[in-house]
Amino acid sequence: MQIHETAFVISTYRSYYEDISKDIYAKLWNNPKTEALIPSILETISKDEAILHSIRNRFFYETLKLFFIKNSGGTLINFGAGFSMYQFLMEDNVTTIEIDKQDIIDYKKEKIDSWIRQGKLPYRKIQYSVIDFNQRTEKEIIETLRPLIKNKPIFILLEGVLFFLNQNTTNKLFNIFRELQNEGDLIGCVSYLPEVENTEVYKRLLNYFDSNNDTNEPFAHQTIPASYYKNLEGYLLKEHIDEFQLSKIYIKDSAIKNKTQILNENMYILERY
């Protein structure tokens, strides 16, 4: 499995629990190949994966909606955007900059443009940028993005990306964010805590990726302690919540009784000061 294929899987997950994810457009990405793949993923790794990704989407949907209501207009910069559809759930005065690898950007832009023409999606101001976080320097990435930012404030979203990066690239990204953002701007990001490495479900995740890595595309398998976010220069940690806690909020009579039974991703909201 290539990293970009996970984007199809995650969008399909969101479509399965539309009432939770609030992503009414995720189903546009559904396709037979991904549908055929998902049952084995859920059986091999965790039966809760689809609903957990829907919870994650709901958390950022609510956070983004509130941010852009309080700060009319502005720009959402989505690093590693995959097939997320937040921009179509926001007001039309929000500009989105979508960043990902060439194959995802080319495919997504073509499909989005087509769906807008067909009336399946509302028009939104979207700019696309192809950036390889590992290969490009901080200076190059900043010089690429700065001219694209026409409206402020800025919300930077880093969802489902850090797992695949190493510590050096992660540090590089937060240095870039600090240069692009001003006081009051937010970052939303997701990562695993190191203690998840001791759970059976996480070991199954790594085994699945390694066993299905048919292109030899590297997976960094990164986990990050909460202290990393607490000590980030220029940022205040405003919120930290995990999927186990969110399941109690968004899933009525949740069957998830123990956080060690799930791939318990942690969500962080950071404010630039």
- Structure letter (DSSP) for residue 273: -
This prediction's pTM: 0.95
Q: What's the confidence (pLDDT) of residue 209?
A: 84
**Integer CA distances (angstroms), 226 to 80, 160, 168, 174, in order:** 21, 16, 17, 15
Instruction: Tell me the pLDDT tens digit for each residue of 19-49.
Output: 999 999 999 999 999 999 999 999 999 999 9
Residues 187, 156: contact at Cβ < 8 Å? yes
Q: How far apart (Å, rounded) are the C-alpha atoms in residues 49 and 262?
A: 8
Q: What's the confidence (pLDDT) of residue 210?
A: 83
Helix residue spans in the chain (DSSP H): 5-16, 18-21, 32-44, 49-70, 102-117, 138-145, 167-180, 200-211, 226-230, 243-250
Q: What's the confidence (pLDDT) of residue 253?
A: 84
Residues 56, 241: contact at Cβ < 8 Å? no
Above 90 in pLDDT, residue 3? no
Mean pLDDT, residues 251-263: 90
Q: How far apart (Å, rounded) are the C-alpha atoms in residues 74 and 38?
A: 36
Query: What proportion of the chain, given as a percentage, has pLDDT over 70?
Result: 96
* Residues paired with residue 237 on neighbouring β-strands, in sequence order: 270
Above 90 in pLDDT, residue 214? no
Q: What's the confidence (pLDDT) of residue 1?
A: 47
Residue 219 — pLDDT band, cuts 50, 70, 90?
low
Spatial CB neighbours of 107, under 8 Å, sequence gap ≥ 6? none
Torsion of the alpha carbons at 227, 232, 235 and 241, rounded to the nearest 10 = -30
Instruction: Tell me the pLDDT tens digit for each residue of 175-206.
Output: 999 999 999 999 999 999 999 999 999 999 99
DSSP assignments along 168-187, one per residue: HHHHHHHHHHHHH--TT-EE
